[in-house]
Amino acid sequence: MGRSNAALNDDSAAESYDATTTKTHFDSETETDEDRVPATNNSPFVEGEKVLAYFKKRIYEAKVIKVEYLLKDWRYFLHYTGWNKR
């Protein structure tokens, strides 16, 4: 009988070992503050805002068409006033 009892204890030890080695939420990669995308209201400019843009050593009036955050940097899509598609 002592032998079968020892076998049960060995099995239970193996089960608890498996439980302690499973990957938990804390072991997985988590998003840091630096990786999080900031809210668009934290951007220096908003869509529809008129701005002055520096392009090829000249300053032009432009309108912000789109704002996005990519690779830890703000990116702005502009339409230069007076320029159009041909």
Q: What is the pTM of this model?
A: 0.51
In which band, very low, low, confident or very high, does the pLDDT at 84 lie, cut at 50, 70 and 90?
Answer: confident
Cβ atoms within 10 Å, residue 64: 18
- Give the residue with greater pLDDT, 56 vs 21: 56
Contact at 8 Å (CB) between 55 and 66?
Answer: no
Rounded to whole angstroms, the Cα distance separating 10 from 7 reads: 5
Model pLDDT for residues 7-52, shown as the tens digit of each residue: 444 444 444 444 444 444 444 455 454 555 556 567 888 999 999 9
Rounded to whole angstroms, the Cα distance separating 40 from 67 reads: 8
- At 76 the pLDDT is 92
Pick from 2-6, 56-60, 71-75, 78-82: least confident: 2-6
Domains, the chain, in order of start with CATH, read 46-86 (2.30.30.140)
Rounded to whole angstroms, the Cα distance separating 35 from 37 reads: 6
- At 37 the pLDDT is 55
